[in-house]
Structure 1
Amino acid sequence: MEGPLEVLERRRRLLVEGDIEAFADLFAVDGVIEMPFAVDGIPARLEGREAIREFSARAATMPFEIIDLRTVQFHQTADPEVVIVEIESVARVTTTGETFEAPCIQVFRIRDGRILLFRDYVGAHSVPDLAAS
């Protein structure tokens, strides 16, 4: 069974490759994504693998692509299922070619190789207005 580090590395690879189906499959059937700092048009909470799949497919049509997710720091907690990751999301606006980096703190609960909870605190101020692109 994959541990949290392996699951998160696979997640990084799948997002960089744009494999939305496999990304969604990393989640437990009742997995949750929470985005407490979500900007307009982005839901603050997605419940269930299929909701995550549907949202991820819609997000894949937005005019940006993920170039990399650089891990700055990985923190294990007293709970072996919970990890905290400091990340720099590197992306490119596909309509303009502009690249940007967004700092993130991400909290995960991973059990038996599946993501149960992904809480993303993204520095939304670093993300360009994609609607204007």
Structure 2
Amino acid sequence: MRTPAEVLDLRRQYLIARDYESFAELFAEDGVIELPFAVDGLPARLEGREAIRDFSLKTSDRPIEILDLQTVQLHQTADPEVVVLELVTKGRHTTTNQPFEAPCIQVFRIRNGQIKHFRDYVAAGKIPGLT
């Protein structure tokens, strides 16, 4: 079974490669993504692996390319399923070639090697084309 760190490393690889099918498979069937600071029509909550897959595939045509998800710090919690990730998303707007860096805090519940819950507190205002 994968550790939370291994799951997050795979997530990084899949998002950089724009492999949204594999990204969705990291989630439990009843997995949830929450985006408390959602902007530009992004949903505040996605429930279930299929909803996550559908949304991820639909947004793959956005002019945003993720170049790296740079971990600043991975914090273990008293609950072995919960980790807190300090992260900087580095990317570029593909139409303008404008680079960006968006800091965020992400909270994960990873059970049995699958993401059960993912809450993303991203500074979306730092991502061109999302504000």
Per the TM superposition, whether the score is higher than 0.5 is yes
1:12 counterpart letter in structure 2: R
Cα root mean square deviation, aligned: 1.0
| SS of the residue 1:40 aligns to | coil
1:127 Cα deviation from its structure 2 partner: 1.3
Tell me how many residue pairs correspond in the alignment: 131
Q: Which residue of 2 aligns with 1:65?
A: 65
What secondary structure, in the 3-state scheme, does the structure 1 residue paired with 2:95 have? Answer: coil
Percent identity (aligned): 63
Give the alignment's TM-score, normalised by structure 2.
0.97
> Alpha-carbon deviations, 1:70-100, whole Å to 9, x = none?
0001100000000000000011111111110
Output the TM-score relative to the length of structure 1. 0.96
What are the equivalent positions in structure 2 for 1:35-114 lying under 5 Å apart? 35-114=35-114
Alpha-carbon distance between aligned partners in 2 of 1:97 and 1:91, rounded to the nearest angstrom? 9
- Which ranges of structure 1 fall in alignment gaps of 5 or more residues? none
For residues 59 and 101 of structure 2, the distance between their equivalents in structure 1, rounded to whole angstroms, comes to 17
Q: Is the 8 A contact 1:35 1:45 kept in 2?
A: yes
For 2:40 and 2:66, the matched residues in 1 are separated by 20
- The letter for the 1-side match of 2:26 is L
Question: Contact between 1:25 and 1:49, CA under 8 Å: does it hold in 2?
Answer: yes
Q: Distance in 1 between matches of 2:130 and 2:98?
A: 11
Range 14-23 or range 122-131, more displaced:
122-131
